Structure 1
């Protein structure tokens, strides 16, 4: 039973975490994504590298069986087994520069329950304010969804295949790529690196490609096309991507904005995004 009144007591809870963005972190980030930007003090940091900074740190003994930290703490203790990053939005105010201390001010803004096709869903909305050496560089809305495990034999609605974008890049979701991003973000969630667990315990056909990593790739594609970082980037996850097939990054320009998405070559849209 999910006690929404108890969970809503977490609304307004805050935390602050900081980390120095060193050249070494930037170099590892660029190596993971195949980027060629500068990695010295004073260089502009790549987009969304802040997602790899100041992660929540708990001891290994305090992790749950899925590799996530035990429920409670800053996030509410939602008693549903599956947790995913459902979407979010970034408004960029300035650049983070390598060699600066990045501080994240976080606040729980909302907790709500909804009934979805697959069962009960609990949405948690978190607002982050990111500063770099005291300068406001971006504000972020993070949408987290908790849900029930899929029932054995459950069938899912077939979705139409995604179109090809005017800009299209193929990505190989290799195990080293997924492992490196988990390491960069200090993410112990086993669905991203433990294939036997992912198949046998959670019933997925392969390792799951991180939502934040897809968002990072799409944001970087938007910046490459526009020739500068976007002022606003918003994304939403629609269906998972696994490591058992290559996927594509796609973008189409429409009236000064970009519509972007990820998908398998012949599969449905996995993540959709807008960049302005």
Structure 2
């Protein structure tokens, strides 16, 4: 039983974290995503680097058996075992630059409970305001969903295969790629790097591709197609991707922007998104 009145007491709670943007961090980010360039002080950092800055740093002794920090603290102590990044939106105002200090102020906006196909779902909405050297650079909304441990990967159904985008590239979700992104974001969740755990304890067929990793690849894809960083990016996760097969990044022109999605070659849409300028 979820005590929603208790959990909603977390609404309005805030925390602030900051980190200096170093050339070595940018170098590791570029290496992870096969981006070229040797960063120097004052250079614009790559888009989506903000997801790798000032991550929560719980002591190892404070992690649960799944590698996540223990419940409570900034995020409400939702009594459901599975937690996923369900979606969100980002507005990019300016570039983060190498050698600047980035500060992120996070605030719990809302906590709601709904009934889904797999049972009770609890959604926590978090707003982030990110400044670099005192300039507002990114405003972000994150939607986090908690659910029960049964029916891993969602309800048993046969969704329609995703279409092929006018722009399309293939991605190999290698174990080193997933491990490197976990390291960049200081994410200890074992579903991204511990194959025996994810199969035997969580019931998934393979390592799960991070939602933020997919979002980063889609933003980079949009930037490559248009030649410039989007002003706004919205996304929603629909189904998981695993390291058991390659997946694709897809995009089609959509009015003043791009409609984007990830999927297996003949699988359903995993993440859908829209980028606008």
Which bin holds the TM-score, normalised by the shorter protein?
over 0.9
Give the secondary-structure state (helix, strand or coil) at the position aligned to 2:222: helix
Match of 1:222 in 2: 222
Tell me: CA distance 1:113–1:209, structure 2 relative to 1, closer, same or farther (3 Å).
same
Match of 1:104 in 2: 104
Match of 1:145 in 2: 145
Q: Please, what TM-score do these two structures have when normalized by structure 1?
A: 0.98
Shift of 1:38: 4.2
Asked whether 1:205 is paired with 2:195, we answer: no
Is 2:118–2:155's contact at 8 Å kept on the other side of the alignment?
A: no
- Consecutive aligned runs of 4 or more in structure 1 exceeding 6 Å deviation: none
- The CA deviation string for residues 165-188 of structure 1, in whole angstroms up to 9 with x for no partner, is 011110000000000000000000
- The CA deviation string for residues 198-235 of structure 1, in whole angstroms up to 9 with x for no partner, is 00000000000000000000001111111111110000
Tell me: CA distance 1:155–1:74, structure 2 relative to 1, closer, same or farther (3 Å).
closer
Shift of 1:119: 0.2
Shift of 1:113: 0.0
Give the secondary-structure state (helix, strand or coil) at the position aligned to 1:123: strand
| Unmatched tracts of structure 1, length 5 or more | none
In structure 2, C-alpha distance between the alignment counterparts of 1:256 and 1:119, rounded to whole Å = 38
Matches within 5 A, 1:82-93: 82-93=82-93
Match of 1:172 in 2: 172
Shift of 1:39: 1.2
Match of 1:49 in 2: 49
In structure 2, C-alpha distance between the alignment counterparts of 1:189 and 1:6, rounded to whole Å = 26
Tell me: CA distance 1:38–1:265, structure 2 relative to 1, closer, same or farther (3 Å).
same
Asked whether 1:66 is paired with 2:55, we answer: no
Q: Please, what TM-score do these two structures have when normalized by structure 2?
A: 0.98
Matches within 5 A, 1:109-148: 109-148=109-148
Is 1:171–1:246's contact at 8 Å kept on the other side of the alignment?
A: yes
Shift of 1:149: 1.1
Is 1:37–1:46's contact at 8 Å kept on the other side of the alignment?
A: no
Shift of 1:151: 4.4
In structure 2, C-alpha distance between the alignment counterparts of 1:269 and 1:155, rounded to whole Å = 15
In structure 2, C-alpha distance between the alignment counterparts of 1:216 and 1:272, rounded to whole Å = 13
Give the secondary-structure state (helix, strand or coil) at the position aligned to 1:68: coil
Asked whether 1:247 is paired with 2:247, we answer: yes
Is 1:130–1:138's contact at 8 Å kept on the other side of the alignment?
A: yes
RMSD of equivalent CA atoms: 1.0
Give the secondary-structure state (helix, strand or coil) at the position aligned to 2:161: coil
In structure 2, C-alpha distance between the alignment counterparts of 1:257 and 1:221, rounded to whole Å = 13
In structure 1, C-alpha distance between the alignment counterparts of 2:233 and 2:37, rounded to whole Å = 21
Match of 2:2 in 1: 2
Asked whether 1:273 is paired with 2:273, we answer: yes
Is 2:218–2:261's contact at 8 Å kept on the other side of the alignment?
A: yes
Is 1:92–1:232's contact at 8 Å kept on the other side of the alignment?
A: yes
- The CA deviation string for residues 238-270 of structure 1, in whole angstroms up to 9 with x for no partner, is 000000000000000122210000000010000
Shift of 1:37: 3.7
- The CA deviation string for residues 30-68 of structure 1, in whole angstroms up to 9 with x for no partner, is 000001144111111111101001011111010000000
